[in-house]
Structure 1
Amino acid sequence: MKEVLVRKFGPGELTLTEALIVWIGLEQRQGGWRWTELADLYPFVQKHRISLPEPLLSTLVGSEENWHRVEQFMQLSEPLRQLVSEEKLDLKTALRVKSIDPQAIEQLKPVLESLSYSERRILLRLFYEVVQRDRLDSPKSMDLASRLKDTPKPLEELYRIRYPSLHHLQETYHATVDTFLKGTGIKVTPPPYFEGTQFKVEFSFEKGSQLQRKALTLQKLSEKIDPVIETLVYGTE
């Protein structure tokens, strides 16, 4: 049987700071402290004006700077707090979009769950920008969230709303490049949402004559594509 040494402290034997240090040490969190737990601890420390020593701050959050970020976390709405606490969204993005109506974010949850980490950040930033640009009130923000929830490609739909010219750019691209390449087995992929300058070419071949035909097709395309690139890429908002 393993022996465990226990020391009992009576009332008044420890200051609040000392008691807090003992308690945090006894917790021995292997995976660190969750944002929600730190948000519960932070007001207590501030209320009692407890000065936490650097080693204790390192145990809790890694640094004094991160400790002050807990106060920023507490400014977030509950849905955003949950996303940050579950490491589904970074604090910086959450702070940027914190004015989004909490009910709209709740409405967006199924959409957010279906996206990757980076896509989730993009969608929330775009949503925030649309709300600000169009001065959407709470009901209209929720209508937008509901619309995105009901569309099969919510991120693409939101890009079209945020950048009205995007749909026109896509139509222009399909009417020129895709039409020109139809039936050739060559695929030219533009940069995502036409943000960037790198186009990707894909094709396959089995023998030299096929490669020669595809090279000839690409040569003809190269003579026509510059005006398209100028319009699509450099003319983007």
Structure 2
Amino acid sequence: MAQWLKGTVTANTHWTDTLFSIKVQTEPFDFIAGQFVRLALDTADGKAQRAYSLLNSPGSKEQEFLVSTVADGLLSPLLQQLKPGDTVQVSQPASGFFILDEVPDGENLWLISTGTGIGPYLSMLGTETPWQRFSSIILLHSVRFEAELVYQPLIRQFQDKYGKQLHYQPVVTREKSVGALQQRIPDLIQSGLLQTACGQSLDLQSQVLLCGNPQMITETKAVLESLGLKKNLRRDPGQITVEQYWK
């Protein structure tokens, strides 16, 4: 049974009408970048809870979560309304195996996400692990609208610190955006446009993490397999590691 920490909301940033980030102060706890906890609120119908990846890196003073509001959801609309000083419960311990410890070595590391799936990647990039293990890192974030390209200042901090070791590639599918590609991720890979834009190969020397909606993951995984890559398993290491956000 999960243990629960009392958390105090310190900030709630609304990126769009349905996308927000919430910061929560709790007593310190250990986790590995890429893991998740559950947030919960007590309601008239009982405890409403859901798993969210930690966006902050280990050792941060606050826990941070990127949340998409589901109109008929039991929890996300309530979280969106929280204000500094409000209370939210945070589960312990953190869970999940979408972590770099589970990823084999490679030449380049592709961090491919849709929507809120960028969260665990930002947590990973705030640690030394990826920078020490991979000569090139590609952070790809696909969204519908430009306003959903969140955490630009943080991404620029990584670029300023690590230079050409990091390539950030936005994809905006429903409107034109300067510097962004516009096609779906599987199509970009299949055509080679993504590899060309990023100046990186996608081959057996690559490690690819996929995080986001199931359709993207299923279709992108199939395209990667057509290129000769295979799913990474402990008993049979490969190049594709998956975290499916929408259950």
Q: Fold match, TM over 0.5?
A: no
Higher relative contact order (Cα pairs below 8 Å, separated by 6+ residues):
2
Q: TM-score, normalised by structure 1?
A: 0.25
Q: TM-score, normalised by structure 2?
A: 0.24
Greater fraction of residues in strand: 2
Task: Report the structure number with the largest CA radius of gyration.
Answer: 1
Greater fraction of residues in helix: 1
